[in-house]
Amino acid sequence: MAMERNEQLHEEAEEALDQINKKTGRNMPQAIATGAALVILIVACLLLSIDVFVLLVVAFMILALWELRVDFATVGLHIPVVMLWICSSFTLIATYYSPYHLITMSLSVIVSIILVAIAASAKLTLGNRLSLAVAGKLSNTDASARLESSYNHDGGEQHHSRLSHVAVSVLTVLYIPLLASCIIIPLTFNDHPIAHAIMLVFMPALSDTGGLFAGAWLGKHKLSPRISPKKSVEGLIGSMLFAMIGSFAVFIFTYDPSLQTSRWWVPIVAGILIGAVGTFGDLCASMLKRDIGIKDMGHLLKGHGGVMDRVDSILMSAPFTCALLWVTGL
C-alpha cells in the first residue's frame, strides 16, 4: 500500500513538473542547476578580484559572439568572428585599465566598427568548424530556416549583398562590445565595484527569475504574443518587483545611512528600469530568433539555451544601470 502511494506521489510530482516546464518553456531542474553554477562562478570571480571578473565578462562575450556567428550563418549572413573577438576583448580590457575610461571605450568602439566592417566585406571563412556548427544548429531548426541557409545549397550567399554582411557585423559591435563596456565602466567609479557588478549582472538575472515565476503562476495577459507568447504583463510586474527587492538589498548593505536616506528612491527606479529594459531585451532577442527561425541562440547552458539567451537582458539594461549609478553618485 505504501509503495503504491509513493508511486502515485512520484507520478503526480512528474506531471506537475512537466506542466511547469511547458508553461515556462524550460527544463526547470536543469535551469536551476545551471543558474546556481553561474552564480557560484561569478561570486568566486568577484571574491578573487575585479580583474578576474572583467576577464570573465570578456570570456562570456567571446562565447556570445561565436553563437551569433553560427546563428547569422544559418540564414547566410556572415560576421567576422575573429576580428570581433580581437576588437571586443581589446575594447573591454582597455576600457577597464585605461585612466580615461569613457574616451577609451568610445575610440575603441569606433575603431572596432571600421575594422569589423572591412573584415566583413572580405567574407573570409577559415576551416570547416562553422559549417559543422551550422549543420548542428539547422538540425534543430524549422524547415524554412534550413532552406534559407547558405550551407544547404550552392550560391546561397548571393541572397545577401556585401552591404548586408557589413551591416549585421556593425550591429554586432554595437550589441556586444559597446553594451558590455557599460558593464565594465561602473567597476571604475565611486569605489563600489562589487556592488555595481551585482547590480549589473545579478539584478537582471533576478528580474528574469521574477518574471519567469510570476508569469508561470499568475500570467494571464499576454505582453507581446506575436513575438514571445510566454511573456505576460504579470511577468513584467514580477520582473520589476524582484529587481526592486534585490536593488534595495544591495543598497542597504553597501551604502552609508546618509546616502540611504537621501537616495531612497534609487532602488525603486533601478527595479523599474531593469525589469522593463530587461524584458525589452528578451523581446528583441526573441524577435531576432523568430526572424532567423531558431529556438535558442545556442546550447552551452543547460536549461537556458545559449550564452546570448542569458545575457541579452544584462546587456540591454547595462547602459541604463550604469547611467543611474553615475548620475546618483552611487
pLDDT tens digit sequence for 215-268: 777 767 777 767 776 777 888 888 999 999 999 999 999 888 888 888 899 999
pLDDT tens digit sequence for 133-180: 555 555 555 545 445 444 444 444 446 778 888 999 999 999 999 999
Which pLDDT score is estimated for 308?
77
How much is the pTM? 0.81
Contact status, residue 231 vs residue 279, Cβ threshold 8 Å: yes
Instruction: Provide the greatest CA pair distance for the chain.
Output: 73
Give the rounded percent of residues in the chain with a pLDDT score beyond 70: 73
Confidence of residue 19 (pLDDT cuts 50, 70, 90): low
Which pLDDT score is estimated for 318?
93
Which pLDDT score is estimated for 6?
52
Average per-residue pLDDT for the chain? 80
Which pLDDT score is estimated for 138?
56
d(CA 312, CA 317): 9
Contact status, residue 64 vs residue 315, Cβ threshold 8 Å: no
Q: Integer distance in angstroms from the first to the last C-alpha of the chain?
A: 62
Which pLDDT score is estimated for 281?
80
If you search the block for the grid coordinates 548593505, which residue do you land on? 253
